[in-house]
A and B are shown apart, each in its own frame.
Chain A
Amino acid sequence: MVLNVNRYVCGYCGACVAVCPHCALELVETWLEIGSGCTECGICVKICPVGALSLDEVKA
């Protein structure tokens, strides 16, 4: 699995960054970066208020 962010949906609020146990996300103004430390745990996916994050088979 791989974590994808749909940047057309993201509201750049940083809630996902706050809950990532591995510090794998970084919000650069309106641009959410997914770093290499992601373990695909899915916590951030559930937290995102607009549903911009998803765990998929392939990298979007």
Chain B
Amino acid sequence: MIDTEYDVVVVGAGPGGSITAKNCAERGMKTLMVEKRQMIGDPVRCAEGIAKHTVKKHIEPNPKWICAEAKGFRIFSPSGIKVEMVGEFGSGEVGYVLDRKLFDRALAHEAARSGATILVKTRATGLLIEDGKVCGVELEHLGKKFCVRAKVVVGADGVESKVGRWAGMNTSLKPRDIETCAQALVYDPSADQEFCEFYLGREIAPGGYAWIFPKGEGCANVGLGILGSFSDAGAPFNYLNNFLKKYLPNAKILEIIVGGVPVSKPTDGIVGDGIVLVGDAARQSDPLTGGGIGNAMEAGAIAGEVVSEAISEGDTSAERLREYEERWFKERGKKLMRNWLVKEHIMSLSDEELDKLAKSIADVKFKGLQLYELLKHLLRRNPKLLWKLKGYI
């Protein structure tokens, strides 16, 4: 049964929400997680790539939701120059390729097992705010509206987040701060099953990139994202069709996926009195790679800890909850800031300049590198082209 009062209400049962709920429930918080969809994890809005060590930090890997393991990645410059790296990639989204439908459900299962109450097909439609402090949510479940009070509300409601906006935080994204994406899960035995591949170029994906991720059994996630400011109605889907025609003309499409990824400058202001935002809702996805599963889980773990402590101390003010924001920034946000700067700069380069960069490191045998070191190699070999980034790498 649903009560009318909880310590914590988490809105959204994606990776961010489930890890937050789990971490709160584990600390004895009376926790409710609501999800507007009738099926957690479905439909997927993701290419499903993630570093192995990030997964392992939060949940025991399970072959049920691991579709493939990539042994490295390849980047193709606009004219097709290949840069290849073998080994687990520190801050990248390469390692496992997941089945998000099952993965998201497994995370929600963990939250439930830790004691959280979960309510699906339940949409948050507003916040209860008293004296400027968030103290609950308005919900709608199977056509019925009701309110639930909470000491802290966690907005983990993804790219389309409203929770922050209801509390007066401006989290709406400008077109230049979102990648608009289209993806197909395809069956095509010719698709590489060992590497995650990335394709750059204005003709392929203006202001973004295309990807081919192995999904096992002859399948692959083939998709692309283009920067919102370069987009036009339906553009991502059209670019995807062109990409498929060129690179995997025999692909049979098993599933179509569309979605948006925030690639904005990391911001503060993700906490308020009685409220915190987590994951895509807090715009915590990596602006360079577009990866957001790992960051949502990391943020969820920190938020769960801080929120629980704050509630135990009886102080859920913005000042107290700011510890979450500060720790987030220290642990991940700084790197995101660097990646945002790199993204902004790469975006300003022409296809010819990107080719030049790729050529400069095409002979390097990378093994188990961090993104940081790849960037350092690039900078060392292209000081003029990348001078703007000198201070950051």
Contact = CB atoms under 8 A, between A and B. Distances in A.
A6 to B, nearest CB: 11
B234 A14 contact: no
Contacts of B159: 13-15, 17-18
A12 to B, nearest CB: 7
B54 interface: no
B332 interface: no
Nearest to A11: B258
Contact size range, B: 35 or more
Contacts of A28: 36, 123
A27 B175 contact: no
B180 interface: yes
A50 B234 contact: yes
B237 A49 contact: yes
Contact of B260 (A18, A23, A51, A54): A18
Interface in A3-60: 11-15, 17-21, 23, 26-29, 43, 45-51, 53-54
Nearest to A21: B172
B165 A23 contact: yes
Contacts of A15: 159-160, 178, 180, 258-260
A48 B233 contact: yes
A25 to B, nearest CB: 8
Interface string B175-190: 1001011100000000
A9 to B, nearest CB: 8
Nearest to A14: B160
B232 interface: yes
Interface of A: 11-15, 17-21, 23, 26-29, 43, 45-51, 53-54
